[in-house]
Amino acid sequence: DGTLAHDIAARCLKSGEDAVAYLGEADFATEAEFKEEDAVAVQVYLDYIRKDVADMGDDLVQMLVEERFHLAEVHPDFFGTTDCTIVGKHQATVNDYKHGAGIMVSAEKNTQLMQYAVGALYGTEAWNDDAFPVEINICQPRVFGVEPVRSWWTSVGALKSWLRDDWLAAARRTERDDPFLQPGPWCNSSFCPKRLTCPAI
């Protein structure tokens, strides 16, 4: 359901359509069908993005929808796909849509979105300005009892520090001949290619 919702959200952002236009669409590979409750949730995301773009007005530089990046010059494994990143002359907004109704995802210090922010801004004029503000947004309309959009502000300078001190440091630790191994419940639900041969497990 989430994959189909993401796909329809991206198409709507590119075409200007509302989510209701895709009611009944199915993904035969996953047997998912886009239902009314899905359309209502996706529309919350679309409305938020469109308001953000409208508020930015002439300040808007570009909007990246489902944009892939691979910064091999940073690290061979530094890659991802941003749901929707809006880059303005004076700030950027990184938006991620979560269709899940179970666990609430926080925007604060969200490493997935920080990576998306680096991917979108690296090599741009904004990347040269450490004070350039970046808003991280999680849009998760189907979680009951919390705001559908949660935000956290950071800066390019803070992203550079995180990239150097956290992301790259962690990546280098995995490349050691004797890496520290910390198995946990995530091992059985992750995409780790070593989980079947991990000596710590």
User: Cα(1)–Cα(73) distance, rounded to whole angstroms?
Assistant: 35
What's the mean pLDDT in 156-185? 91
The proportion of the chain whose per-residue pLDDT surpasses 90, expressed as a percent, equals: 76
Helix (H, G, I), strand (E, B) or coil at 67: strand
pLDDT in tens, 35-77: 999 999 999 999 999 999 999 999 998 999 999 999 999 999 9
Give the DSSP H or E segment for 52: helix 36-56
* Predicted pLDDT at 185: 83
Contacts 24+ apart (CB under 8 A), 121-130: 121/87, 121/92, 121/156, 121/159, 122/69, 122/71, 122/74, 124/87, 126/87, 126/92, 126/156, 127/156, 129/156, 130/155, 130/156, 130/157, 130/160
Instruction: Judge whether residue 28 has pLDDT over 90.
Output: no
